[in-house]
A and B are shown apart, each in its own frame.
Chain A
Amino acid sequence: MSVSSDDVRHIARLARLDLTDEEVERFRLELSTILGYVEQLEALEAGRAAEPAAPDHPLRSDAVEAWEDLTPLREAAPDLVDGYFRVPRVIE
Chain B
Amino acid sequence: MRHAPRTAVELAAAVRAGNATAAEAVGEAFLRIRQADSLHAFLSLREEAAREEAAAVDRRIAAGEGDELLLAGVPVAVKDNIAVAGGPTTCGSRLLQHYVSPFDATAIAQLRAAGAIVVGKTNLDEFAMGSSTENSAFGPTRNPHDPTRVAGGSSGGSVAAVAAGCVPLGLGSETGGSVRQPAAFCGAVGVKPTYGRVSRFGLVAFGSSLDQIGTIGATVDDAALLLSVVAGPDPKDATSATEPVGDLAAGLEEADPAGLRIGWPAEYFGAGLEPAILAACEAARDRLADAGAEIVDVSLPHSPYGIAVYYTVAIAEASSNLARYDGVRYGHRATAADLTSMYLKTRAAFGAELKRRIMLGTYVLSAGYYEAFYGKGTAVRARIRGDFERAFERVDAILSPTTPTPAFPIGEKADDPLAMYLNDVYTVSANLAGIPAISLPWGRTPATADRPALPIGIQLMGPDFSERRLFEVGRFLERESPDA
Contacts and interface: CB of A to CB of B under 8 A. Distances in A.
A25 interface: no
Nearest to A70: B102
A88 B319 CA distance: 24
Given A42-B376, A76-B100, A90 B344 contact: no
A29 B363 CA distance: 14
Contacts, number: 172
A87 interface: yes
Contact of B329 (A15, A59, A77): A77
B401 interface: no
Contacts of B330: 76-78
Determine chain A's interface SS by DSSP, over half rule.
Answer: loop
A15 B358 contact: yes
A35 B363 CA distance: 9
B327 to A, nearest CB: 6
Nearest to B340: A16
Interface string B191-215: 0001110000000000001000000
A7 to B, nearest CB: 8
B453 interface: no
A60 B238 CA distance: 8
Given A54-B239, A90-B338, A34 B326 contact: no
Nearest to A71: B102
B337 A89 contact: yes
A44 B305 contact: yes
B333 interface: yes
B347 A53 contact: no
B356 A57 contact: no
Contacts of B196: 53-54
Given A35-B363, A60-B235, A41 B305 contact: yes
Given A50-B378, A75-B100, A89-B337, A37 B418 contact: yes
Interface residues of B, number: 75
Contact of B356 (A30, A41, A48, A60): A30
Interface string A47-62: 1111111101111110
Interface in B344-362: 344-345, 347-348, 350, 355-356, 358-360, 362
Contacts of A42: 372, 376
B100 A53 contact: no
Contacts of A41: 305, 308-309, 312, 373, 376-377, 380
B241 interface: yes
Nearest to A49: B378
A56 B233 CA distance: 11
Task: Indicate the member of A54, A59, A90 with the most B CB atoms within 10 Å.
Answer: A54
Interface of B: 86, 99-102, 194-196, 209, 235, 238-239, 241-243, 302, 305, 307-309, 311-313, 319, 323, 326-333, 336-345, 347-348, 350, 355-356, 358-360, 362-364, 366, 372-373, 375-383, 385-386, 417-418, 421, 433-435, 464
Interface of A: 3, 7-8, 11-12, 14-19, 23, 27, 30-31, 33-35, 37-38, 40-42, 44, 46-54, 56-61, 72-73, 75-79, 85, 87-90
Given A12-B359, A41-B309, A72-B102, 16 more contacts: A18-B345, A31-B363, A34-B360, A37-B311, A38-B364, A41-B376, A42-B376, A50-B209, A52-B209, A53-B194, A56-B241, A56-B242, A56-B243, A75-B100, A78-B333, A89-B339
27 contacts: A8-B359, A15-B347, A17-B347, A17-B350, A17-B355, A17-B358, A18-B347, A31-B359, A34-B417, A37-B307, A38-B308, A41-B377, A44-B379, A46-B379, A50-B313, A50-B381, A50-B382, A53-B385, A54-B195, A54-B241, A56-B241, A56-B243, A72-B100, A85-B329, A88-B341, A88-B342, A89-B337
